[in-house]
Amino acid sequence: MSEKTKTGRTGIAALRAGMSRNTAAKYLKEGKLPSEMKAVRDWRTRPDPFEQHWPRIEARLVAEPDLEARVIFEELQEHHPGLYEPGQLRTLQRRIKQWRGLAGPDKEVFFPQAHRPGEALQTDFTWASKLGVTIQGEDFPHMLCHPVLPYSNWEWATVCHSESLAALKRGVQEALFRLDHAPKFHQTDNSTAATHDLTSGKRAFNEEYMAMVGHFGMHPRTIAVGEKEQNGDVEAMHRGLKNRLKQYLLLRGSNDFESATAYEMWLWRMLLKTNRPRQTKLQEELAVMRPVTMARLPEFTEVDTRVSSWSTISIKSNVYSVPSRLIGEKIMVRVYEGRIDVYYGGKVQLTTQRLLGRGGHRINYRHIIWSLVKKPGAFRLYRYQEDLFPSLVFRRAYDALRDRFEENKADKEYVRILHLAASTMEAEVETALELLLEAGTLLSAEGVKSMVTDGETLAAMGMDAPLVDLSVYDNLLSRQEGCI
3 state SS of 302 = strand
Q: Domain check: are 191 and 245 in the same one?
A: yes
Q: Domain check: are 392 and 417 in the same one?
A: yes
Residue 471 lies in a domain: no
**207-264: per-residue pLDDT in tens?**
888 889 999 999 988 765 444 444 557 888 999 999 999 999 999 999 999 999 999 9
Between these two residues, 106 and 288, which has the higher pLDDT value?
288
Q: Domain check: are 240 and 307 in the same one?
A: no
> 69-73, 191-195, 333-337, 382-386 — which is least confidently predicted?
191-195
Backbone angles phi, psi at 298, to 5 degrees: -65, 135
Backbone angles phi, psi at 186, to 5 degrees: -120, 125
Q: Is the confidence at residue 414, as pLDDT, over 80?
A: yes
Q: Closest Cα partner for 160 from 235, 247, 244, 267?
A: 267
278-288 per-residue burial string, b: 16 or more CB within 10 A, e: under 16: beebbeebbee
Between these two residues, 420 and 31, which has the higher pLDDT value?
420
Q: Report how far Cα 416 is from the mean position of its chain's Cα atoms.
A: 41
How many other CB atoms are there within 10 angstroms of residue 46's CB atom?
6
- Point out the domain boundary residue: 362, 385, 413: 362
- Amino acid type, 56: R
Residue 149 lies in a domain: yes
Q: Domain check: are 451 and 378 in the same one?
A: yes
Q: Rounded to a whole number, what is the distance in angstroms from the first to the last CA of the chain?
A: 101
Q: How confident is the model at residue 35 (pLDDT cuts 50, 70, 90)?
A: low
Q: Closest Cα partner for 88 from 73, 71, 98, 68?
A: 73
Give the pTM: 0.62
Residue 480 lies in a domain: no
Residue 328 lies in a domain: yes
Decide if 363 contacts 339 (C-beta within 8 A): no
Q: Domain check: are 352 and 432 in the same one?
A: no
**Separation of alpha carbons 19 and 144, rounded Å:** 59
Q: Domain check: are 261 and 143 in the same one?
A: yes
Residue 319 lies in a domain: yes
Residue 44 lies in a domain: no
Q: Domain check: are 238 and 386 in the same one?
A: no
Q: Domain check: are 264 and 232 in the same one?
A: yes
What range does the domain containing 333 cover? 301-362
Overall domain count for the chain:
5
Q: Domain check: are 149 and 265 in the same one?
A: yes
Q: Domain check: are 307 and 208 in the same one?
A: no
| CA angle centred on 261, ends 256 and 266, rounded to 5° | 65
pLDDT, the chain, mean: 85
Residue 368 lies in a domain: no
Q: Domain check: are 10 and 157 in the same one?
A: no
3 state SS of 16 = helix
Residue 367 lies in a domain: no
**Separation of alpha carbons 210 and 165, rounded Å:** 11
CATH classification at residue 227: 3.30.420.10
What integer is the mean pLDDT of 415-424?
Answer: 94
The DSSP string of 315-368 is: ETTEEEE--GGGTT-EEEEEE-SSEEEEEETTEEEEEEEPPPSSS-EE--HHHH
